[in-house]
Amino acid sequence: MRKLKIFYGMLLFASVLLLSACQTEPQLIETPQEERIRVAVLVAEGFHDGEAYMPIGYLVNQGFDVTVIGPERGTVKAYNSDFTITIEQGIDEVLATDFQALVLPGGRGPAVLRENDEVINFVSEFWQTGRVTAAICHGPQVLISANLMEGRTSTGIDGIKDEIEEAGAEFVDESVVIDGNLITSRVPDDLYDFSQAIAEELKQQVGLTLLMKQ
């Protein structure tokens, strides 16, 4: 866990430098610990390094609590680099209601995730909460296997365009597509828009929660 936090910190610093070179630097949200919003990033062996770590870094910098979940605890490797990530909690250790957002990075990990019945059940249960579900690149494949895409508007990597449409969704070739609780993006070049969209939707949730408490 300590190694993971150190790595997150190093990655976060690098991410902020990269993002600030082309975008306005995000501002840190100061939120009391008991009111913090929890985000789950769902990965498996073969995940895409940037599509997992960049949203993690951005969301942590925005003040959200991020937990990496997967089929089981352990370390998995990215398909496109020597980067690894530690799955902090297995899918059997968490509940859909534990989190306010679910992020599905792309790469080859979604092909592994979509074959796991426990994962599909968790994703389906999370979807029913109506909370933010975000997928990039091949990430929508998990939602397709959970039969959640019919009637939706989505994007993704061009290679799964036909699969998205066959699942009953409208494919849109844009950097980020928001359809209700669903946020989708295409490729690593879209990561800033993707991460920002997730954060903005979560900020709205924070505002609504505070409003309901008044």
* CATH number, residue 206: 3.40.50.880
Average pLDDT, the chain: 86
Structural domain range at position 114? 2-213
Spatial CB neighbours of 202, under 8 Å, sequence gap ≥ 6 = 37, 39, 59, 62, 64, 100, 101, 132
The radius of gyration computed from the CA coordinates of the chain, to the nearest angstrom, equals 16
- pTM confidence score: 0.83
Looking at the structure of the chain, the number of domains it has is 1
Where the chain has pLDDT below 70, the residues are: 1-35, 206-214
List the catalytic residues. 138
Nearest alpha-carbon partner for 99 in 166, 160, 42:
42
pLDDT by residue (tens digit) across 24-69?
Answer: 443 434 444 446 789 999 999 999 999 999 999 999 999 999 999 9
